[in-house]
Amino acid sequence: MSDSVSIQVPGRLHLGFLDIPGKDSSRFGSIGLPLDGISTRLEVSKAAETSVHGDESARIFAHLTALRPHLDLADHHQVTVFETIPAHAGLGSGTQLALAVSAALRTLHDLPFHVRDDATFLGRGARSGIGIAAFEEGGLILDAGKTKDDLTPTVVSRIPFPSEWRIILILDGHAEGIHGDAEIKAFRTLPPFPAESSASICRHALMEIMPAVIEKDIATFGNAVTSIQQKLGDYFSPAQGGRFTSRAVEETLLRLGECGAVGIGQSSWGPTGFAFAESQAAAERIVAAAALEDTGTTIRIVAARNQGALITRRTEPVEFKLEYRKALSGKARQ
């Protein structure tokens, strides 16, 4: 039995919804992508009393308190947080934090993994399944939403993302995306999502984004992402004050697009924006040409992630895959 377990979980981009439930639709659907270089890292060990050291202590403490009886654990735990995904920035911080705590506890106590059950128990995956799927494995992810509250969204496709492509992230530390009760209210007050918009988005996803990723056609991929983002940005505009939550991010994206970036958009409710380039060199050239020093935003160039969470027990890092779940539990997942 290990004395401690370390876990690293990736942030993710939400590239857009496929549909938004209304009178004639019962499911969301999402396109998303986990990221390298944007992550939450923490370590969990047994302790005499429960304690959390580092960022997000309140949320982690709440997860520990809820999971102890849920997992039938008598022990208390100490959690040390080394790094966190920015909160309320559209990068999936809440889902990854919850799953990191549950997975670390299960690993520490040699319990079988039930990621989707734990996600539901901790209130994650209400609309999008991208964060849960990104925890399990990387790549471009499409989910088809869910039909029951006690389920997580169904992943229908997962495609390895080109390793040479780069994502230009635009961060605005002075703004937050809509979350919590405000998010629930926004979905309740927005008008029905047009069926023709959903049909167009689904066509972009199936006929352009998915084959373009396989064929490494960044121009087609970028045009489709931008088209989807424009439709969704217009729909969510009344709730977030425009196509983008942050005017600074919007201005930065405009400049990046003028300098050759493709696939322009906002992740989830923002404020984080994104754009794509065909290589690290191309991304650096675009950022330099855009002359962004006066925008008040922070720029990060990252790759997509084609792996899921990384769990370290003792000294051996293990990618989070089904085989590891079997090894931990001694039998296949029930």
Decide if pLDDT at 136 tops 50: yes
CA 225, CA 3: separation in Å to the nearest integer? 45
Q: What percent of the chain has pLDDT over 90?
A: 78
Q: Render pLDDT for 149-181 as a digit per residue (tens, 0 to 9).
A: 778 889 999 999 999 999 999 999 999 999 888
Query: Average pLDDT for residues 268-276, to the nearest whole number?
Result: 96
**Taking all residues of the chain, what is their mean pLDDT, rounded to a whole number?**
91
Following DSSP, what letter does each residue of 7-64 receive, concatenated?
Answer: EEEEEEEEEEEEE--BTTB---EEEEEEEEEEEEEEEEEEESS-EEESTTHHHHHHHH
CA 123, CA 195: separation in Å to the nearest integer? 28
* Contact predicate 44/105, CB 8 Å: yes
Task: With cut-offs at 50, 70 and 90, classify the pLDDT of residue 333.
Answer: very low
Terminus-to-terminus CA distance in the chain, angstroms? 22
Task: With cut-offs at 50, 70 and 90, classify the pLDDT of residue 317.
Answer: low
Q: Render pLDDT for 62-83 as a digit per residue (tens, 0 to 9).
A: 999 999 999 999 999 999 999 9
Query: Average pLDDT for residues 44-54, to the nearest whole number?
Result: 95
* Whole-prediction pTM: 0.89
Query: Residues for the chain: how many in total?
Result: 334
Query: Average pLDDT for residues 296-316, to the nearest whole number?
Result: 89
H helices within the chain, ranges in order?
57-70, 93-108, 115-121, 130-136, 181-189, 195-204, 210-215, 218-240, 247-258, 280-290, 322-329
CA angle 249, 16, 296 (to 5 degrees): 10
- Residue-wise burial string across 274-300, b where 16 or more C-beta atoms lie within 10 A, e elsewhere: bbbbbeeebbeebbeebebeebebeee
